[in-house]
Structure 1
């Protein structure tokens, strides 16, 4: 990973496209280099898709539910319970956390019936002791591309520190 790769990834996030032509124009990196590096980033697993992000509200998935999940401690419970939570329809993100809460789960749903089913599915997991769910009233920030939250220099310095 080097500065050119970071610039390419930031351009992809900013432009919302993996088009070598547009990225080349945006970054002044030759198109052939952009194409080669994007291919390499995909092969290395750094880039997992072509950024065909979808507006969930346009699909009717307007309700965002954030749930704290408390589970019974057991060996490897974080993997077992985490996989069960992740498999529930509508769940988009599952985080195993430290502290009083074992998992934070984020789901995007269409209506109250789906919310009710979601909560029932959580409670159907044997190891789940308790849940606490909150509805998002207003999204203040939802940046799907974390690189947009950093200055180029910050990311370049962080990868330089790894070498």
Structure 2
């Protein structure tokens, strides 16, 4: 980074995380700094790659995707694919929202959203387990999400 971020940049980031559509005049009032300064700081955070993009947070229940599950998977090198290649293939499956290569007893952590536990089961059995390079899996369905950030 060309300039280090300071406490005001962190406050601005928190405000934008809460509502990325907040207008500059409102941000200026909340932060107690001039609008031109808010504008400059946002541009700086974008140019330095601290803000990668502005996005939305969907209401998954209203989209009929209210059931979330986390799947732990073991990587099986038998098929000649790298762990990264397997992760990329998994990421292409409809319903998969996150894929992480992790350390520990398991190799991959996968987040799936669907309309029901039954639908998640279909994704796991019919699609995920069919990916060459996926070994054993364990599925954990979430009862309730207490905190989730973008």
Q: TM-score per shorter chain, which class?
A: 0.7 to 0.9
Match for residue 115 of structure 1?
120
Query: What is the TM-score of this pair, normalised by structure 1?
Result: 0.77
Cα distance 1:78–1:18, how it changes in 2: closer, same or farther (>3 A)?
farther
Aligned with 1:80: secondary structure? Answer: helix
TM-superposed CA distance for 1:124, in Å, is 1.3
Q: How many residue pairs are counted as aligned between the two chains?
A: 144
1:102 is aligned to 2:125: no
The gaps in structure 2 that reach 5 residues or longer are: none
Cα distance 1:19–1:111, how it changes in 2: closer, same or farther (>3 A)?
same
Aligned with 1:57: secondary structure? Answer: coil
For 2:55 and 2:23, locate their aligned partners in 1 and report how far apart those are by CA, in whole Å: 10
Query: What is the TM-score of this pair, normalised by structure 2?
Result: 0.83
Range moving further from structure 2, 85-94 or 105-114: 105-114
Structure showing the higher helix proportion among its residues:
1
1:30 is aligned to 2:34: yes
Match for residue 10 of structure 1?
14
Range moving further from structure 2, 66-75 or 131-140: 66-75
Aligned with 2:87: secondary structure? Answer: helix
For 1:70 and 1:91, locate their aligned partners in 2 and report how far apart those are by CA, in whole Å: 17
Q: Counterparts of 1:129-148 in structure 2 under 5 Å? A: 129-142=135-148, 144-145=149-150
For 1:24 and 1:78, locate their aligned partners in 2 and report how far apart those are by CA, in whole Å: 46
The gaps in structure 1 that reach 5 residues or longer are: 146-163
Cα distance 1:73–1:23, how it changes in 2: closer, same or farther (>3 A)?
farther
Instruction: Please give the root-mean-square deviation of Cα atoms over the aligned residues, in Å.
Output: 2.2
